Amino acid sequence: EELIGRSNELRGKKVLINAGPTQEAIDPVRYITNHSSGKMGIALAEAAYQKGAEVELVLGPTHLRPKFKGINVKTIISADEMLIQMLELFDSSDIVIGAAAVADYKPDEIKSEKFKKKAKDWNLKLVKNPDILGVLGSKKTHQKVIGFALETQDEEINALTKLKAKNLDAIVLNSLKISGAGFSTDTNHVIMFFENGIKKEFPLNLKTQIANQIFDSILELY
Ligand code: CTP
Ligand code: CA
């Protein structure tokens, strides 16, 4: 199964992808997370593998796994753990894709005991998580770094602002306004913006097909 259908397009390239949500612990029984399924990032990892790349997938909490045993999966829980794994693999990577839905905030402390219900309301204090792609973008040397942008308004402006702020080579805009696109669907409709000003729209298609189109576009950067 694994030897059949692998092409040479990405042979010799190391591809690093993060995917899925992160979970930010509040206490031993509670956490903060989001609706990411990891499908798009896993589809990207599978597409890269089928194009002959060596693939590292840093995966947040999801029950989904890539279908090829040859993909190296590192599972993590929190954004801090995801950053550590990404930094460890970054220098040796050629193409880095941030497809993870990193939780933007985490509790200011993880309580070691279960927080007990009281008569009054609970004011949970949240602090910012590291911007993983921002950190990697600022450290990039030879790598091509590609991000995703999830927007519900001013989509194009916000995506372009993120492309610049995180020093990316390209950004893939996911709009929740487009039907058939979103967290647990098998399909997506995206627009890809490149650092050189080029814009490419990929109409509604299976996430597996969108993943191939994204890599075909990344290959054009070489
Ligand atoms: N990202 C990241 N680390 C974070 C937040 C986001 O690496 N702490 C990455 C995502 O994986 C994605 C890109 O940055 O590739 C944009 O994520 P998005 O949530 O759309 O943007 P944010 O920069 O978090 O801004 P906001 O959520 O406020 O729109
Ligand atoms: Ca965010």
Which pLDDT score, from 0 to 100, does residue 152 have?
Answer: 86
The CATH code of the domain at 14-105+125-219 is 3.40.50.10300
pTM of the model: 0.96
Which pLDDT score, from 0 to 100, does residue 217 have?
Answer: 96
- Counting ligands in written order, the one closest to the CA of 106 is 1
**Rounded to the nearest 5°, which phi and psi values hold at 175?**
-110, 125
pLDDT at 1 over 50: no
pLDDT at 88 over 90: yes
Known binder of ligand: residue 131? yes
- Counting ligands in written order, the one closest to the CA of 151 is 1
Which pLDDT score, from 0 to 100, does residue 174 have?
Answer: 86
Mean pLDDT of 116-135: 96
Least confident of 10-24, 27-41, 181-195: 181-195
Instruction: List CB-based neighbours of ion ligand 2 within 5 Å.
Output: 104
Structural domain spans, the chain: 14-105+125-219
Identify which of 24, 57, 97, 104 to mutate to test ligand 1's pocket (most ligand atoms within 8 A of the CB).
104
* CA 123 to ligand 1 center in whole angstroms: 25
